[in-house]
Chains A and B, each alone.
Chain A
Amino acid sequence: KQEVTQIPAALSVPEGENLVLNCSFTDSAIYNLQWFRQDPGKGLTSLLLIQSSQREQTSGRLNASLDKSSGRSTLYIAASQPGDSATYLCAARIPQGGSEKLVFGKGTKLTVNP
């Protein structure tokens, strides 16, 4: 059974700091890994998608890496801003019963202090 873990559960940093969020998964048989951002009471906003054959993806100040062999992914946020404050979720898309589903971690709540 695929399990996805995110550490730490919460993180507080001063504005301008570079930071890394961690995501680990137990089964390397994944289609892809996706990072999301969720603001309080809102839906999920897709940040980056890494296919299983890729090692990393970049979008602006965000960089996500994937190491299937070790079951790890990281989300790097450069020069953090107060607007980056949110909960960050990673999800592994896995095959199941001829179809697929996303298995989510519990998220890392990030607070960037001005």
Chain B
Amino acid sequence: KAGVTQTPRYLIKTRGQQVTLSCSPISGHRSVSWYQQTPGQGLQFLFEYFSETQRNKGNFPGRFSGRQFSNSRSEMNVSTLELGDSALYLCASSPGIGTEAFFGQGTRLTVV
């Protein structure tokens, strides 16, 4: 059974640009969550999608957005990139509420 797949693995962008990250959950999982990991703040929750609906959102500015498709794949978009957006972005999938979360390898975003 394939795990959670995130693409691309590494990304370098310039300030002011926008970026789209992709996450393919484990087959059959309908919940996809996104987290940002930085050395200073640790892992912080961005948002969660279930059956194409955003059910929950963390305390991030509106520049961070996402969506989920009918096949449960999810994308995360960050517009007007800032240096502080440099981080490891992790995606997790779960079968449903209160179940085990499985993470992908992450996308390392560097903003220069």
Contacts and interface: CB of A to CB of B under 8 A. Distances in A.
B33 A102 contact: yes
B18 interface: no
A17 interface: no
Interface stretch (B60-68, B69-77, B78-86, B99-107): B99-107
How many B residues are at the interface, by size bracket? 20 to 34
A72 interface: no
Contact of A101 (B45, B90, B100): B45
A76 interface: no
B42 A104 contact: yes
Contacts, number: 66
A70 interface: no
Contact of A43 (B42, B44, B50, B104): B104
Highest count of chain A CB atoms <10 Å: which of B42, B43, B44, B98: B43
B2 interface: no
The range of chain A's interface size is 20 to 34
B98 A101 contact: no
A43 B48 CA distance: 18
A32 B98 contact: yes
Contacts of B4: 43
Contact of A42 (B48, B50, B55, B105): B105
Given A36-B103, A44-B103, A46-B103, A99 B43 contact: no
Given A41-B108, A46-B103, A99-B55, A31 B42 contact: no
A54 to B, nearest CB: 12
Interface of A: 31-32, 34, 36, 41-46, 49, 51, 89, 91, 93, 96-107
Interface of B: 4, 6, 33, 35, 42-45, 48, 50, 55-56, 58, 88, 90, 92, 97-98, 100-106, 108
